[in-house]
Structure 1
Amino acid sequence: MYNYPYHNVSQMHVFPTPNYPMIQSTYPQGIPSFHPNYHWYSYPTYRQYPDVDPTLFNESAIEMQKLMNDASIVLKRIAESKDFAKKVMSAAQESHLQEVDRLIQSTGIKSKVETSFNPDGINMTFKSKVGQTDCCKLTVALLWRG
């Protein structure tokens, strides 16, 4: 640790900089501002923030609950029916994307789902809109081979 000889308050130097109204340092002028013991004192700034409107945020949360419910329906079906899981895996292995989508939609969900798969698993992305705005997306990734 480097001991700097100017530790007495009477030796403190004060000088202005362009970005801050005042810098107080126990070091003489000429020591770079990135020195680890360099002390910065700034004055608080106050900003005016616009009023917030939580309407879209609230509606997005409501839509996300629906997506989570639909994802839960699909996951329950896969978990409870090995036959259904086997059909989804077989269709994916044969690259029948439309059949995979049909099987997932056959669970009774109302959300739009985009699926993608690879040799290791499947990704299901549930999407929803509020009006014309894409508000939320829930992606579920399941592994079927390690």
Structure 2
Amino acid sequence: MYYYHYPYPPYPQPPAYPGYYLYPPVTRQYPQVDVNIFTKSIKSYRLLMDQGSILLDRLGDEDFDVKLMTFAQQGNKTEVDKLIKTIGLKVPVETKYTPTGITFELTAHPDPSSPMSCCTLSVHMRWGN
């Protein structure tokens, strides 16, 4: 058995992209950047962070947690949603839960006329084994 002890192949390898060396790279003109949408998203995300803080403060109440986990364990999604709505958040919240944890998705719509959300804050928390 022969061992080839050089770190490079014995024969020259063809280039991966044969025409790459024949043509110069194409330079593209990109449009001027517009930061208006990004700025609105940042402002909306600040609102989401504030609302997330309110949610976490309410979840710190042990009586609230017992009710929430009891309804979730029973699979009663409507009661879980009602309980979350009692917090009084200004943004829509979607709740998903499993036996091991719960996820809250808070979404913001910076422009009321636009149905698309600009940003989403997901809060994942573990509550079981």
Q: Distance in 1 between matches of 2:109 and 2:85?
A: 18
Equivalence for 1:49: 30
Give the Cα separation in 2 of the matches to 1:117 and 1:137.
Answer: 17
Alignment of 1:98-109 (within 5 A): 98-109=78-89
CA shift for structure 1 position 61: 1.2
Evaluate the alpha carbon distance shift between residue 3 and residue 117 of structure 1 in structure 2; reply closer, same or farther with a 3 A threshold: closer
Counterpart of 2:122 in structure 1 is 139
Question: 2:93 matched to 1:92?
Answer: no
Paired position in structure 1 for 2:46: 65
Task: Give, in angstroms, the shift of residue 85 of structure 1.
Answer: 0.8
**Identity rate, percent:** 37
How big is each residue's C-alpha offset from its partner over 1:94-145, in whole Å with a ceiling of 9 and x where there is no partner?
A: 1121221222221221110010111111111111223212211111111111
Residues 87 and 3 of structure 1, relative CA distance in 2, 3 Å threshold: closer
Matches within 5 A, 1:16-31: 18-21=19-22
Higher strand content, 1 or 2: 1
**Could you list the runs of 5+ residues in structure 2 that have no partner in the other structure?**
9-17
Instruction: Please give the alpha-carbon distance, in whole angstroms, between the structure 2 residues aligned to 1:3 and 1:87.
Output: 66
User: TM-score, with normalisation over the residues of structure 1?
Assistant: 0.68
How many residue pairs align between the two structures?
113
The normalised TM-score by structure 2 is 0.77
25, 31, 55: which is aligned to 1:74? 55
1:2 aligns to what? 6
The 3-state SS of whatever aligns with 2:118 is strand
Q: Which has the larger radius of gyration?
A: 1
Unpaired stretches in structure 1, ≥5 consecutive residues: 5-16, 23-42
Residue 69 of structure 1: how far off its partner (Å): 1.1
The alignment yields a C-alpha RMSD, in angstroms, of: 2.1
Q: CA deviation at 1:2?
A: 2.0
Query: Equivalent residue of 1:50, what SS?
Result: coil
CA distance in 2, matches of 1:61, 1:49: 24
